[in-house]
């Protein structure tokens, strides 16, 4: 009897789930923004209502310079969080923030500024996101996404941790073309405060997921990035290529590497999960790129809900205002360069699945409700000790209608060191509307192009 009704009952469950999504989707553009965030501000007004984001450039901005003028440069902090008053704000702080305050009571603090919901998206991305709210399907128990979702956030009204994490991976952050940095620098600061440049890279990143007008793109590919190492000298000329897909079980990450000494392109399947990233001093893992990158099959992702948190936001000073040497203090980034704002975030807890291997046993992600970028991230080792924390800062590129977050700091509490990643102060960040053809983007063509520069 149970076997007779197993399929019909499952079908009824799926239908009810779809109906619930449809009912919620009616609130998009009303109580919710078109991308699913709460339209209204919070009760005391410390988080404002969403009013369309920042799309007007401030005075002094030079288009296509690679640098963006800070529209809030004249603002003063509302208050400062220190080790002495941290308990007062504890419910809005992550484990990593609390650990830094406790370890560095005399030097690290958080200046909290007025909150601005600056995120803005192009019209076509918003329209695709609204469409996806009732049509986008998650597959393989949350580990894959239907290719029909391309062009917008897949799950503007997420119901599971996997859906939130897919929103993070498929968030709109590059545009329909591609972005480059001619010199993206990364720095390692050891326990003695010694600053060492560990990488200087020319990078290229594109989102085929949003390149829906290009007929030569593989529908399942959602992200592609390559980097050319120019520093240190022993690694100069090395190229790394990463391709990611909407069904990573059917088509896992395709990673390639090129070494000038061997002069050939090789597959690099080890560039995934908890393999350390060589160009980042070994302090980060491949599945920590951009806070989370790759497949979700080693952890169970639980959606805890929403809460208000102080996250790095509108970090124009950190990106463009502080000079290179100003950024570093012995045990942490210079807090005078940082900007913290109160925003609503999605909270997702990831727990290592039984029988799976990873250096972490648990992770917590805090994702901004407007961008789905992860502002804060904490990871614990097998013994339950806090291992690493990462703070990812973002800016709204007002002339591009593009939320952008790439520059971050990583704190390794196990090794008592930290790194600053993706510093674009030398050359800035560049964005192009016209994408390369697929033929120009195969690994051999990439290597040939970048090594001839």
pLDDT digits (tens, 9 = 90+) for 384-407: 999 999 999 999 999 999 999 999
What's the CA gap between 280 and 127, in Å, rounded?
38
pLDDT digits (tens, 9 = 90+) for 7-19: 333 333 333 444 4
pLDDT digits (tens, 9 = 90+) for 332-382: 999 999 999 999 999 999 999 999 999 999 999 999 999 999 999 999 999
What's the CA gap between 253 and 295, in Å, rounded?
8
**Residue 453 confidence (pLDDT):** 61
| pLDDT beyond 50 at 288 | yes
Residue 152 lies in a domain: yes
The count of structural domains within the chain is: 1
Q: How many helices, marked H, and strands, marked E, lie in the chain? A: 6, 20
Torsion, Cα 264 269 275 281, to 10 degrees, reads 20
- DSSP string spanning 99-137? HHHHH-TTT--EEE----------HHHHHHHHHHHHH--
Q: Residue 99: CB partners within 8 Å, gap ≥ 6?
A: 386, 389, 411, 413
CA 438 to chain centre: 25
Q: Which helix (H) or strand (E) holds 178?
A: strand 178-189
Phi-psi region of 400 (alpha: psi -120 to 50; beta: other; left: phi over 0): alpha
Nearest CA to 404 out of 334, 319, 309 is that of 319
**Residue 125's CATH number:** 2.50.20
Residue 106 lies in a domain: yes
Range of the domain at 137: 79-198+294-445
What's the CA gap between 210 and 172, in Å, rounded?
8
**Residue 434 confidence (pLDDT):** 87
What's the CA gap between 290 and 287, in Å, rounded?
8
**Residue 452 confidence (pLDDT):** 67
What's the CA gap between 133 and 152, in Å, rounded?
10
Between 2-25 and 123-135, two packed helices, what is the crossing angle to 10 degrees? 150
Residue 6 lies in a domain: no
Contact 257, 242 (CB under 8 A): no
CA 191 to chain centre: 27
| pLDDT beyond 90 at 425 | yes
Q: Average model confidence (pLDDT) for the chain?
A: 92
Residue 10 lies in a domain: no
Q: Which helix (H) or strand (E) holds 152?
A: none
Residue 382 lies in a domain: yes
Contact 391, 95 (CB under 8 A): no
Does this model's pTM top 0.85? My answer is yes
Residue 63 lies in a domain: no
Residue 55 lies in a domain: no
pLDDT digits (tens, 9 = 90+) for 62-97: 999 999 999 999 999 999 999 999 999 999 999 999
Residue 69 lies in a domain: no
Nearest CA to 97 out of 390, 395, 422 is that of 390
Q: Residue 32: CB partners within 8 Å, gap ≥ 6?
A: 38, 39, 156, 157
pLDDT digits (tens, 9 = 90+) for 230-250: 888 888 889 999 999 999 999
What's the CA gap between 236 and 171, in Å, rounded?
32
């Amino acid at each position: 009897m149970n076997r007779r009704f197993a399929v019909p009952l499952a079908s009824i469950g799926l239908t009810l789930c779809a109906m619930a999504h449809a009912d919620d989707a009616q609130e998009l553009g009303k109580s919710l923004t078109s991308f699913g965030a709460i339209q209204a501000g919070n009760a005391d007004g410390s988080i404002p209502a969403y009013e369309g984001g920042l799309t007007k450039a401030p005075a002094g901005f030079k288009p296509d310079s690679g640098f963006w003028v800070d529209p809030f440069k004249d603002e003063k902090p509302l208050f400062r969080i220190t080790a002495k008053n941290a308990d007062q704000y504890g419910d809005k702080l992550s484990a990593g923030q609390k650990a830094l305050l406790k370890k560095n009571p005399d030097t690290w603090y958080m200046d909290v500024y007025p909150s601005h919901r600056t995120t803005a998206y192009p019209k076509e991305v918003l329209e695709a996101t609204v469409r996806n709210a009732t049509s986008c399907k998650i597959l393989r128990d949350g580990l894959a996404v239907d290719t029909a979702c391309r062009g917008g956030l897949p799950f503007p009204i997420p119901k599971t941790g996997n859906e939130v994490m897919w929103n993070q991976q498929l968030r709109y952050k590059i545009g329909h073309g591609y972005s480059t940095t001619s010199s993206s620098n990364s720095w390692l600061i050891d326990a003695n405060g010694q600053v060492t440049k560990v990488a200087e890279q020319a990078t290229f990143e594109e989102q085929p997921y949003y390149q829906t007008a290009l007929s030569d793109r593989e529908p399942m590919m959602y992200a592609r990035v390559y980097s050319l190492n120019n520093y240190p000298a022993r690694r100069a000329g090395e190229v790394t290529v990463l391709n990611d897909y909407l069904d990573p079980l059917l088509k896992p990450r395709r990673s390639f590497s090129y070494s000038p000494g061997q002069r050939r392109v090789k597959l690099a399947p080890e560039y995934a999960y908890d393999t350390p990233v060589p160009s980042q001093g070994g302090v980060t893992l491949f599945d920590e790129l951009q806070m989370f990158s790759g497949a979700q099959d080693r952890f169970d992702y639980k959606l805890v809900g929403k809460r208000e948190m102080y996250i790095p936001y509108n970090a124009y000073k950190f990106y463009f205002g502080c000079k290179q040497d100003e950024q570093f203090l012995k045990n942490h980034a210079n807090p005078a360069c940082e900007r913290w704002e109160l925003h609503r975030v999605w909270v997702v807890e990831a727990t290592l699945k039984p029988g799976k291997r990873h250096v972490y046993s648990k992770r917590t992600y805090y994702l901004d409700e407007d961008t789905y970028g992860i502002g804060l991230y904490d990871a614990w080792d097998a013994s339950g000790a806090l291992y690493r924390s990462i703070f990812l800062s973002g800016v709204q590129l007002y002339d591009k209608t593009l939320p952008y977050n790439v520059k971050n700091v990583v704190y390794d509490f196990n090794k008592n060191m930290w790194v600053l990643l993706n510093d674009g102060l030398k050359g800035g960040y560049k964005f192009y509307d016209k994408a390369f053809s697929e033929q120009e983007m195969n690994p051999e063509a990439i290597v040939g192009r970048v090594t001839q520069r």
